[in-house]
Amino acid sequence: MERVVKYFLFLTIVAAFPEMDLPLQEWKKLVQPYTPECIDQSTQQLLDNFWNHGEVSDNAGFKCALKCIATKLDILSSEGNINISNVQKFHGVTEEVARLCAQTTEVDPCQIIYNLIGCCCRMMTEE
């Protein structure tokens, strides 16, 4: 059942991103220093699709590349805790959005960041 819920959450995110007016290029500038270290050839195209078209991939490697970047930005601790103030470094993410989206029962750090990004994007477009 949990897998079905995650799948529908993923479909919701994918369907919503292309129409979102998000500051993706601003976010790209923030993570750019860490992409060579965290992104390999197999995930580079997926990341480019996110930056250029707002397309997010459910690919496990992509999720873990996002986790790597989040760790470098001190958004995610080695214990899997989310640093709210560092989430707010992303243009447009308010403290309220960061706090709401940081609430999780997920244990997989790659999925934690994937869910955090999806939640922040959804919340920002609902404001």
- What are the pLDDT digits (tens) for 79-126? 889 999 999 888 888 899 999 999 989 999 999 999 998 898 888 777
Percent above pLDDT 70 for the chain: 81
CATH of the domain at 53: 1.10.238.20
Please give the residue that has the higher pLDDT: either 91 or 13: 91
pLDDT, averaged across the chain: 80
- Count of the separate structural domains present in the chain: 1
Residue 61 belongs to what domain range? 2-126
Predicted confidence (pLDDT) at residue 8 exceeds the cutoff of 50: no
User: Given this model, what pLDDT does residue 19 score?
Assistant: 45
- Three-state SS annotation for 21-40: CCCHHHHHHHHHHHHHHHCC
Output the pTM of the full model. Answer: 0.76
Q: String of b and e for 99-115 (b: at least 16 CB within 10 Å)?
A: eebbeeeeeebbbbbbb
Strand partners, 82: 76
Percent above pLDDT 90 for the chain: 37
